[in-house]
Amino acid sequence: MDLFLPNFSFAFQPIVNVLAGQVEAFEVLVRGSNGESASQVFQKVHEANRYCFDETLRVNAIRNAVDLGVNCYLNLNFLPRSIEVSKTAVSSLIEVAKESGFPVNKIFLEVTESEVINDFLWFAKAINYYRNFGVNFAIDDFGAGFSGLNLLAEFQPDSIKIDMSLVRNIDSHGPRQAIVRGIIRTCQDLGIDIIAEGVETDREYQWFCEEGIELFQGYFFAKPGFEHLPVAFFPNYEP
């Protein structure tokens, strides 16, 4: 099977906790072995091998992160359908984590909102099973697709990442502010952490700070570092 899979490597982007002034997690992003983008890598993967590749990536990502000395949370992207396709989709990852001494409860699986929408009752059930092992779940690109809130009725992830289409220019965009305030309210009531992702400017950052958001990801703090852990910029935190 491996013969059909392209060469790949990883980049790491920090999620920062601006209140604590420390890196909360690293998200692992797929790259080509020469730094090509994730989409370029995935283009080379045959549809039939997609989930197998997804699984291979996660296993390698953990090994890689351990080699680089990651000791905070580790965020990995995850296609929910892989649970259906491969029985070992999550268990292989738990095994590798144990083997390489990375705590399972420091792993976050990020699931894109749009991938969950088809059958989220089934999804919630499957996910909750893996939660028993201590794996955490985050909804990625929250607010970008069309499931959004009703997803939270059936399944409460440990955190959500507010999609960058809602983040962009939020400081001057009223409807976006109103939507994000609603998301914040719901998540606070459900005890779900919020990460503002794709933050690029000080003004965007300030807006989220004033709303009490503490977790951030984006170029404003650090670009993804190819095969290394980049140093994050910590701005002043004034809620």
Partner 1 sequence: MSLLIHLIYCSATTYPMQDADLVSLLETSRKNNAKAKITGILLHENGSFFQVLEGTQEAVEQLYERILHDNRHTKVVTIIREPIAKRTFGEWTMGFVKLDSQELDEIIGLNDFFAEGSSFTQLGAGRAKKLLAAFRKGRWRSKVKNQSPVQQKDGEKEVSLKSATSHISKISFAFQPIVDVEEHRVIAYEALIRGQKNEDFSNIVPEISEQEWLQFDTSCRAIAISTAARLGLPSDLHLNFMARQVKDARSAIQSTLEAAERNGINLNRIVLEIDQDKLIGDSQHFAQIIEEYRGVGLRVSIDHFGAGRAALKLLEILRPDMIALNIQIVRDIDTNGARQAIVRGVTQTCDDLGIDIVAKDVNSVEEYQWFLDEGITLIQGNLIASPAFEQFPAPQYL
Contacts with partner 1 by CB under 8 A lie at: 117, 143-150, 152-154, 156, 171-179, 181-187, 189-190, 238
3-state secondary structure of 217: coil
Rounded to the nearest whole angstrom, what is the least distance from the CB of residue 18 to partner 1 in the complex?
Answer: 16
Rounded to the nearest whole angstrom, what is the least distance from the CB of residue 146 to partner 1 in the complex?
Answer: 3
Rounded to the nearest whole angstrom, what is the least distance from the CB of residue 156 to partner 1 in the complex?
Answer: 7
Q: Which residue lies nearer to partner 1 by CB, 44 or 131? A: 131
Q: Residue 46: beta bridge partners?
A: none
Task: Please report, for residues 8, 57, 164, 226, the alpha-carbon distance to residue 40 in angstroms, rounded to integers and kept in the order given.
Answer: 10, 15, 21, 15
Place of tokens 């994000």: 180
Contact of 2 with 219, CB cutoff 8 Å: no
Rounded to the nearest whole angstrom, what is the least distance from the CB of residue 186 to partner 1 in the complex?
Answer: 3
Place of tokens 């370029």: 40
Q: How many CB atoms lie within 10 A of CB 7?
A: 11
Rounded to the nearest whole angstrom, what is the least distance from the CB of residue 137 to partner 1 in the complex?
Answer: 15
Q: Which residue lies nearer to partner 1 by CB, 19 or 149? A: 149
The residues near 82 (Cβ < 8 Å, ≥ 6 apart) are 51, 54, 55, 89
CA distance 136 to 154: 16
Record the tokens describing residue 14, joined without a space. Answer: 């920090």
Q: Which residue lies nearer to partner 1 by CB, 55 or 163? A: 163
Q: Which residue lies nearer to partner 1 by CB, 41 or 183? A: 183
Q: Which residue lies nearer to partner 1 by CB, 99 or 119? A: 119
